[in-house]
């Protein structure tokens, strides 16, 4: 009898333990998902700036004194307007460390827009610390105006610090993704009509866009058409005989399959050689185009785009500029002595005669 009671008790304990372990692993269906851990309040940035408060240096000198014309002097007296600045415009790289919270980007861009800056590029991403994000902003402006904007940005509550990397040795990189045609520029317009596959299709012949507005409109239409492959190109009314003859003069001759294969192979080899020289890589190859990935400086990215433009650029996307300051090397005492000797007085006996 005692043996049966012991077996019954063991089975009950095993059943209860299995139920407890199952309930701890499987979540009840009615239990809502838990939100992520909240981010710390942005007042910690204020505490940091109060602790590290250092009187900022004076602003850069606006202009070299110059003589004003009579018209400028009268305008200054009547409307109390300052004379136009003569400082040159140059590129500035601002690096901001901000609190990772909603609305920071709009406040930063609002201050820059209020001072008339156009943001050339902007990169925002979370750092290794979950509550902090890093912004790399590239703008063009005068030194004094940019310095005033930098100080205004630093006064924002969620901003920890703002650094200007303009006169600093930095490593700057930019990422480029570009889709290049391997059929050639003659079939570029037909590939735009083909949708996402960029298969060359003959649409209604149109004239070559000449103005800037026509080029921008064509780019926007091709971008929208690439996201909707099910929409076919609507047929228009037949053009006049003069326009039809003019369009036939610019229509490329249809290629045989062997000619198209040979042409694709030649263009792909040329594009791959350019990519290899610039240190990029081909990340996608399709029937009519390739996608190239390149990480380099802005000037090198611009040079690569100008070299692949004759092949026919179907799409391109670029990230903003990311910058990080270089770490200076520690010099030894011997190197410092050599530098001092080089910059010191030169022994006349070591000079050549004459």
Q: How many CB atoms lie within 10 A of CB 92?
A: 23
Report the pLDDT value the prediction gives residue 239, as an integer from 0 to 100. Answer: 43
Q: Tokens 């480029």 sit at which residue? A: 176
The predicted-structure confidence for 230-247, as pLDDT tens digits, reads as follows: 554 443 434 444 444 444
The predicted-structure confidence for 162-211, as pLDDT tens digits, reads as follows: 999 988 899 999 999 999 998 888 877 777 775 555 666 655 444 556 67
How far apart CA 136 and CA 97 sit, in angstroms, is 9
3-state helix, strand, coil in the chain (%, to 5): 45, 20, 40
Identify which of 346, 317, 285, 43 has the alpha carbon closest to the alpha carbon of residue 175: 317
CB 111 within 8 A of CB 158: no
Identify which of 107, 172, 93, 175 has the alpha carbon closest to the alpha carbon of residue 140: 93
CB 285 within 8 A of CB 198: no
How far apart CA 171 and CA 321 sit, in angstroms, is 10
pTM: 0.63
Per-residue DSSP letters for 155-201? TSTTEEEEEE-TTS-EEEEEEEEEEEESS-GGGHHHHHHTGGG----
For the chain, the first-to-last Cα distance in angstroms comes to 125
Kindly report the CA angle at 297 between 292 and 299, in degrees rounded to 5? 95
Token pair of 103 as six digits: 């609305």
Report the pLDDT value the prediction gives residue 259, as an integer from 0 to 100. Answer: 79
Report the pLDDT value the prediction gives residue 246, as an integer from 0 to 100. Answer: 45
How far apart CA 18 and CA 107 sit, in angstroms, is 54
Longest Cα separation, the chain: 125
**Ranges of the chain whose pLDDT falls below 50:** 20-26, 204-206, 232-249, 339-340
CB 185 within 8 A of CB 311: yes
Strands 159-164 and 132-141: unpaired
Q: Return the H-helix or E-strand segment holding 320.
A: none
Report the pLDDT value the prediction gives residue 249, as an integer from 0 to 100. Answer: 45
On the CB side of 108, CA atoms within 13 Å amount to: 30
């Amino acid at each position: 009898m005692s043996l049966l009671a012991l077996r019954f008790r063991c089975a009950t304990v095993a059943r209860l333990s299995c139920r407890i372990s199952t309930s701890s692993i499987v979540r009840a269906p009615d239990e809502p998902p838990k939100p992520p851990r909240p981010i710390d309040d942005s007042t910690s940035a204020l505490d940091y700036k109060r602790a590290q408060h250092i009187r900022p240096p004076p602003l850069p000198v606006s202009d070299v004194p110059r003589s004003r014309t009579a018209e400028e002097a009268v305008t200054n007296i009547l409307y109390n307007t300052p004379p136009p600045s003569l400082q040159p415009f140059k590129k500035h790289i601002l690096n901001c460390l901000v609190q990772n919270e909603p609305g920071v980007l709009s406040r930063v861009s609002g201050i820059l827009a209020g001072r008339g800056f156009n943001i050339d590029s902007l990169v925002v991403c979370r750092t290794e610390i979950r509550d902090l994000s890093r912004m790399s902003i590239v703008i063009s402006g005068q030194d004094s105006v940019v310095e005033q904007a930098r100080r205004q940005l630093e006064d924002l509550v969620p901003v920890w610090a703002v650094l200007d990397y303009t006169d600093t040795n930095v490593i700057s990189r930019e990422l480029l993704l570009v889709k290049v045609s391997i059929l050639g520029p003659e079939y570029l317009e037909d590939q735009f009509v083909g949708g996402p596959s960029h298969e060359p299709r003959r649409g209604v012949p149109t004239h070559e866009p000449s103005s800037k507005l026509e080029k921008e409109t064509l780019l926007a239409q091709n971008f929208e058409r690439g996201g909707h492959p099910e929409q076919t190109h609507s047929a228009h009314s037949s053009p006049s005989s003069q326009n039809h003859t003019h369009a036939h003069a610019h229509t490329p001759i249809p290629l045989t399959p062997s000619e198209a294969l040979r042409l694709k192979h030649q263009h792909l080899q040329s594009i791959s050689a350019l990519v290899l020289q610039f240190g990029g890589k081909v990340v996608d190859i399709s029937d009519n185009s390739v996608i190239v990935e390149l990480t380099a400086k802005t000037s090198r990215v611009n040079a690569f785009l100008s070299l692949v433009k004759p092949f026919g650029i179907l799409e391109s996307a670029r990230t903003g500029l990311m910058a990080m300051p270089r770490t200076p090397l520690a010099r030894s005492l011997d190197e410092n002595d050599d530098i001092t000797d080089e910059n010191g007085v030169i022994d006349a006996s070591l000079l050549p005669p004459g």
